[in-house]
Chains A and B, each alone.
Chain A
Amino acid sequence: MTFRVNFLIQCISSVSWSAMNYGFFEIVFSYTGSIGADSGWGKYEYFVFLATTWLINSLIQTFCMPNAQEFSELIRTGNLDFALLKPIDTQFLISFQKVEWSSLTNGFMGLGVLIYSLSQLASRSPTPLVLSPLTIVLYIFYLGCGAAILYSVMISLAATSIWLGRNQSLYNFWFYITNFSRYPMEIYARSWGLPLFVLFTFVIPVLVVVNVPARLLADPLQSQDTWKWPLAGFALFATGMSLFVSRLIFKAALRSYRSASS
């Protein structure tokens, strides 16, 4: 009973969160035609972007977030001991223990907005959007890549609680970093934004997380073709590197594990 009520409340709250985001951009687009002059991110292109953000976030919140939280808790209580004893990869074990189904609602919202926006784009005036099966397959593939990059960031952050002891600001930190992934990446590519652009593209590649799949699908501007594919290639590389580096961090953190006694 309480579980079901809780579930419902969580669904409602995540939906209303998304709705507010949507409302904010409805307001923004009542003042401007696009985000960035000639960038191609018009209202519906941008809503494809927004829906992609929600899809990836819901994947993370359903499958990764509860486990990262649990991991921090295991470190704090010293119960990570048992995970370390099991003859199975520790990172694997702690990454897939829990699932928070209620967070999937956000994903459904995203799907709805995505389909609606794509149908609007199908009648885009100069160049109507035409989706090929390949585009859809690539989109889904890059959604997975994006989720993998965010998973790597999250597991690395969670692993740092081994060094820092308590780690309250972990989720704030997570929120602040992923915050950058929520807007088209070119908005940072100006004056003092360039270092941020470079940092969040090449060092902590959160900018490619949403940008690559959303760009592939919404295809905001034909002229971007020159760097669309190199970017997609880079995203693949970034995914691999993120997984690799987060694993190194995870392993290094385990070496410093102290095993708190209860």
Chain B
Amino acid sequence: MSVIEIEALEKSYRVYQKKEGLWASVRGLFHREYRDVRAVRGIDLQVEAGEFVAFLGPNGAGKTTTLKLLSGVINPTSGKARVLGFVPWNRDNDYRRRFALVMGQKNQLWWDLPAQESFRLHQQIYRIETKQFQDTLDELTDLLAVRDLLGQPVRELSLGERMKMELCAALLHSPEVLFLDEPTIGLDVVAQHNIQRFLRYYQEERKTTILLTSHYMKDIAALCKRVVIMADGEIKYDDSLAGIVDRFSSHKIVTVLLNDGTQAEKLRDYGEVLSVEAPRVRLRIERERISATLSLILDRFLLDDVAVEDPPLEDVIADFFTQVSNKGSDDASDPFPTEVQA
């Protein structure tokens, strides 16, 4: 049986459409227009124990909503989900003791108190035995190199240090399932890298099932083998990281080193020139035409070197997002304004 099972899960919000202007405000007193926003549109997903799954998608794709549904913070409109055999939104204490949610945008530690105090409260709430609590805390603070900061008020910590403390707090009760919502948002490269390293190590050690959403491709490339791409509240892709390029990239990047740099301009006939640093030229060529074009180039030019690569993952995904979000905005112009009498 899978650790996470989602079936036709759907969540829609009703949003009051406030209109600009005085008259509209007055009218709003008596009668309002609502719009249903379908944040998650009937998704299906299965995650096995010990998997590290990344959720990718543009803002508003429904990733965070999905995590909130799975952690029982909000109730769904329809559909089913089970995590560790529990229905999340029943908010069973037994369930709540076995998972954790970390949100990069929100913090749960007491702002004016040292992190240590929040951890102790955690110990009481999760009923962790003192010995186990101390061991786990020692291990986590060593791994994250924050042991010296335990006594400092949280408000005095840097953003990166605070995030590490949030992770500590979330992992104190050794959850079997961990939901991470943009854990590295706003952090500098070093702090991001530290947290990635920690998560990889922790996951390999404990085989915790982790669902991660992030905007940073580096996070995902470093951590996850399986990637789920969401857009418009639907799952558009669910497979390996490597597969994304095959599936969504229609082009390859060809770099040629010309023997005679003056001929660089002539290459424009063969593909979209990305850059010319004579004698080096980078071209973007459609995938189906790659072998034909290459042989033509080899025929007509004298080359010192040639390299064919996939475009960077980030570009591929950015392209894909733009495609779906363009489509998405068409969708938005066809909303569902339901007039509701107040």
Residues of A within 8 A of B (CB): 77-79, 81-82, 84-90, 93, 255-259, 261-262
Contacts and interface: CB of A to CB of B under 8 A. Distances in A.
A121 to B, nearest CB: 46
Contacts of A79: 106, 108
Nearest to A165: B16
Interface in B82-122: 89, 91, 93-97, 100-101, 103, 105-106, 108
Given A257-B73, A257-B74, A259-B68, A86 B96 contact: yes
Contacts of B184: none
B75 A259 contact: no
Nearest to B89: A255
26 contacts: A79-B106, A79-B108, A81-B71, A82-B106, A84-B71, A84-B73, A85-B71, A85-B73, A85-B96, A85-B100, A86-B126, A87-B94, A87-B95, A87-B97, A87-B126, A88-B125, A90-B91, A93-B125, A255-B75, A256-B75, A257-B73, A257-B74, A258-B74, A259-B74, A261-B64, A262-B106
A109 to B, nearest CB: 31
Interface in B304-342: none
Contacts of A261: 64, 105
B72 interface: yes
Contacts of B72: 84-85
Contact of B106 (A81, A93, A256): A81
Contacts of A78: 106
A81 B97 contact: no
Nearest to A84: B73
B216 interface: no
A258 B12 CA distance: 10
B13 interface: yes
Interface string B124-138: 011100000000000
Across the A-B interface, the 4 shortest Cβ-Cβ residue pairs = A87-B96, A82-B108, A87-B97, A87-B93
A77 to B, nearest CB: 8
Q: Which of B73, B96, B127 has the most CB of A within 10 A?
A: B73
Nearest to B96: A87
Interface residues on B, range: 20 to 34
Contacts of B96: 85-87
A81 B91 contact: no
Contacts of A259: 68, 73-74
Nearest to A90: B91
B62 to A, nearest CB: 12
A55 B121 CA distance: 31
Contacts of A89: 93
A88 B122 CA distance: 11
Nearest to B109: A82
Nearest to B108: A82
Contacts of B108: 79, 82
B128 to A, nearest CB: 11
Contacts of B91: 84, 90
Contacts of A93: 125
Q: Which of A89, A93, A257, A258 has the most CB of B within 10 A?
A: A258
A75 B72 CA distance: 15
Contacts of A86: 96, 125-126
B73 A81 contact: yes
Contacts of B64: 261
Given A82-B108, A258-B74, A259-B73, A88 B103 contact: no
Nearest to A262: B105
A249 B321 CA distance: 42
A82 B111 CA distance: 14
Nearest to B126: A87
A88 B93 CA distance: 6
Contacts of B106: 77-79, 81-82, 262
Contacts of B127: 87
Contacts of B95: 87
A90 B71 CA distance: 14
Contacts of B126: 86-87
Nearest to B16: A165
Contacts of B13: 258
A87 B125 contact: yes
Given A88-B93, A257-B73, A257-B74, A81 B125 contact: no
Contacts of B71: 81, 84-85
